[in-house]
Amino acid sequence: MAAWQKLAGVSGAAAVGLGAYGAHGFKPKEEIYGKIFDTANKYHLLHSLLLATAPLAKRPNVVGGLCSAGIGLFSGSCYLAAVTENRQLGKLAPAGGISLMGAWLALLL
């Protein structure tokens, strides 16, 4: 099994666990932070699937690297902003989004 698939397994399991926390345990004071957490989780889970396909790409390290960075930057900063209820901590989300777009486009290489 490729390293990217192993990382995808860990990432996907984390996304499911965080999704359960978001649905049942996370009780933000402001509703918007629940939505931010949910968005982080959706992108995290979806891109864990992309990460699992990285070994099938012509350039698996490009796809896997961009996807991993994107998950960490986008979902990670959104999770952090939501949990702390501080939007300033979500400033890396755009860089993560660009990285995720790059991962999808890298499938074209």
Residue 28 in 3-state DSSP?
coil
pTM: 0.96
Distance (Å, rounded) from C-alpha 68 to C-alpha 52? 11
**pLDDT band, residue 37 (cuts 50/70/90):** very high
- Whole-number pLDDT of residue 22: 97
65-105: per-residue pLDDT in tens?
999 999 999 999 999 999 999 999 999 999 999 999 999 99
Distance (Å, rounded) from C-alpha 24 to C-alpha 51? 27
Whether residue 54 contacts residue 65, with contact meaning beta carbons closer than 8 Å, is answered with no
Mean of per-residue pLDDT scores for the chain: 97
- Whole-number pLDDT of residue 100: 98
